[in-house]
Amino acid sequence: DVKVTQSSRYLVKRTGEKVFLECVQDMDHENMFWYRQDPGLGLRLIYFSYDVKMKEKGDIPEGYSVSREKKERFSLILESASTNQTSMYLCASSLIRGADEKLFFGSGTQLSVL
Amino acid sequence: KNEVEQSPQNLTAQEGEFITINCSYSVGISALHWLQQHPGGGIVSLFMLSSGKKKHGRLIATINIQEKHSSLHITASHPRDSAVYICAVPGGGADGLTFGKGTHLIIQP
H or E segment to which residue A6 belongs: strand A4-6
Instruction: Please tell me whether residue B81 adopts helix, strand or coil conformation.
Output: helix
Residues of B with Cβ-Cβ distance to A56 under 8 angstroms: 94
Q: How far is CA A20 from CA A2, A66, A69, A98, B76, in A?
A: 23, 9, 14, 27, 43
Encode pLDDT of B70-106 as tens digits.
999 999 999 999 999 999 988 655 566 889 999 999 9
pLDDT > 90? residue A79:
yes
Identity of the residue in B45, B88, B102 whose CB atom sits nearest the CB atom of A104: B45
Q: Inspect the interface and report whether the beta carbons of B33 and A107 lie closer than 8 Å.
A: no
Encode pLDDT of B41-62 as tens digits.
789 999 998 889 999 999 999 9
Residues of A with Cβ-Cβ distance to B95 under 8 angstroms: 31, 33, 45, 48, 58, 99
Identity of the residue in A9, A45, A103 whose CB atom sits nearest the CB atom of B93: A45
